Amino acid sequence: MNMKKTIQINQANLREIGNTIPVPNYNRTSKKIGIVHIGVGGFHRAHQAYYLHQLKQQDKASGWNICGIGLREPDSNLHDIFKKQDHLYTLLVKHPDGKIEPEVIGSIIDFEMGTTNQEAVIARMANIDTKIVSLTITEGGYNFNATTGDFNFENSNIQHELKNPNEPITVYGFLTAALKRRRENGLPAFTVLSCDNIEHNGNMMRKMLLAFAEAQDAALAKWIAQKVSFPNSMVDRITPMTTKADIETLAQTYNVKDEWPVTCEPFIQWVIEDNFSNGRPELEKVGVQFVPDVGPYEKMKLRLLNAGHSVLGLLGIIHGHPTINACMEDETFVTYLRAFMDKEATPILGNIKGIDLDNYKDTLLQRFANPNIKDSVHRICMESSAKLPKFLIATIHENLATGGSIKFATLVIAAWCYYSDKGMDSHGNAIEIVDAMSTELYQAAKQTETNPLAFIRQESIFGNLIENERFTKLYTEAIQKIYTDANIKKHMLDIL
Ligand code: CS2
């Protein structure tokens, strides 16, 4: 085997790495941080951190450095790797024609763990230089009750934080502790910028944070309501999970030793409401769109892209397709996806100013088909209990209200039930289910054979769908079909 010498990615080696791949051209010695970001997953690193990196490449004086924050124990892995790598990492942009564009990203300059160093995180957010606290805490991180839409005070971490304001655990405990300190120190509030796949993500965060703050300190809640802005935003870039093969490719082809690079597709989009309480970077210089109302863009993306992913993911995992692009090589899946998009998602979107929906859908199909991305269906199916209410079930509810088609989405819900119940594909291969509600999902799904509607009785996910006869009839038929014969493609063809 060719044992080439690899260069460890870090600040000291940047010049040498720069001979092979692009590296930051800006000074990274400033310790000034303008953005504190909670939830530094692959997505943040391929998206927001990349935008900021591009801005800094253009405007070397830009002070907008990022400090990452981890609030979950597993984040300590990235924290430790980042420490060795001076918070540098490689982004590998994978094109459909096989071309890979690697680039070293330098916009993150620090990382703190909220699990072990609460004070450092609060101090960082309360620092005068911090203008924005941005979030990718996933759909599940917002802690709302899906039935009522209200803040979930039953969460034990929330109860702990309310009793012990100096021992924050969740995003809510940290944000209020930091905002309290800023208020006491006479500093302006920061903007809270939500970057999760939730419709009206900023409004949602505002509602949840105010509910929490109100229960903790009513005067603080009032100050937050007046001073903190919560712009809504739509974020987009397909970012699969990093694999061992990605790490090896980087070492073999580019001689770079990076323990946690990120891979992504070429497409990138960020649409934000221009509502920042304490200043913002000039992101429009690098292609970010600032609009007065992001609602239609968010809805379009969630109900077409994210829902489309779930349609392919849940049907694909049962069929045995490993990746989204493998689904897209299967004509039945492509036709089914397009039919779902055209007949169920598009009618509820209406006209979106400046957007050609047909063109948007065509582009989505091309993005999903990118053979280089290899986005696993497993990633897509993870945390479906938090995703589907926003991506797919909302569409079913809306189509039920207007008399629109629901058959394509209904089969997907039945497939989700089968997947939660059996934990295997149609060939009997085991599937690992990763979901905060996996136990509840399994408990409900396993009753299906005796009680076909058991799964959709879970109100926190499905709301009152169980009461709708048109839905329950179609759903029961779909369940009978799948449980009689798990050949999902046959049932997809039946519907088409
Ligand atoms: C995916 C998203 O998690 C999912 O199910 O649909 O991660 C999707 O890839 C991103 O939102 C793309 O912007």
Closest residue by CA, ligand 1 atom 3:
380
Closest residue by CA, ligand 1 atom 13:
236
The pLDDT of residue 81 is above 70: yes
Residue 50 lies in a domain: yes
The pLDDT of residue 262 is above 70: yes
pLDDT at position 349 is 94
Residue 2 lies in a domain: no
pLDDT at position 145 is 82
Based on the domain organization, do 254 and 327 belong to the same domain? no
Residue listed under structure tokens 């903790």:
216
Residue 238 Cβ < 6 Å to ligand 1: yes
CA of 380 to the centre of ligand 1 (A): 7
Q: Which atom of ligand 1 is nearest to the CA of 197?
A: 11
- DSSP-derived secondary structure letter, 306: I
CA of 310 to the centre of ligand 1 (A): 9
The pLDDT of residue 307 is above 80: yes
Confidence of residue 3 (pLDDT cuts 50, 70, 90): low
Distance in angstroms (rounded) separating the CA atoms of residues 292 and 181: 31
Domain span at residue 203 reads 7-291
Based on the domain organization, do 88 and 20 belong to the same domain? yes
pLDDT at position 139 is 86
CA distances to 64, 97, 199 from 202, in Å: 21, 37, 9
pLDDT tens per residue, range 364-391: 999 999 999 999 999 999 999 999 999 9
Q: Which atom of ligand 1 is nearest to the CA of 381?
A: 5
Based on the domain organization, do 405 and 476 belong to the same domain? yes
CA distances to 395, 397, 466 from 302, in Å: 10, 15, 23
Q: Identify the CA nearest to 421 among candidates 441, 451, 393.
A: 441
Based on the domain organization, do 154 and 270 belong to the same domain? yes
The pLDDT of residue 1 is above 60: no
Closest residue by CA, ligand 1 atom 4:
380
Helix (H), strand (E), coil (C) string for 229-271: CCCCEEEECCCCCCCHHHHHHHHHHHCEECCCCEEECCCCEEE
Asked which of 291, 320, 339 is the last residue of a domain, the reply is 291
Residue 197 Cβ < 6 Å to ligand 1: yes
Residue scoring higher pLDDT (355 or 109): 109
Q: What is the pTM of this model?
A: 0.95
Tokens coding 76: 């300590």
CA of 236 to the centre of ligand 1 (A): 8
Residue 1 lies in a domain: no
The pLDDT of residue 453 is above 90: yes
Based on the domain organization, do 252 and 342 belong to the same domain? no
Tally the domains of the chain: 2
Residue 87 Cβ < 6 Å to ligand 1: no
Asked which of 291, 325, 343 is the last residue of a domain, the reply is 291
pLDDT at position 147 is 75
Mean pLDDT of the chain: 95
Based on the domain organization, do 276 and 419 belong to the same domain? no
CATH number of the structural domain spanning residue 443: 1.10.1040.10
Based on the domain organization, do 277 and 300 belong to the same domain? no
Based on the domain organization, do 44 and 19 belong to the same domain? yes
**Mean pLDDT confidence for 446-450:** 96
Distance in angstroms (rounded) separating the CA atoms of residues 317 and 123: 44
Based on the domain organization, do 367 and 475 belong to the same domain? yes
Kindly state the greatest CA–CA separation across the chain: 66
Residue 233 Cβ < 6 Å to ligand 1: no
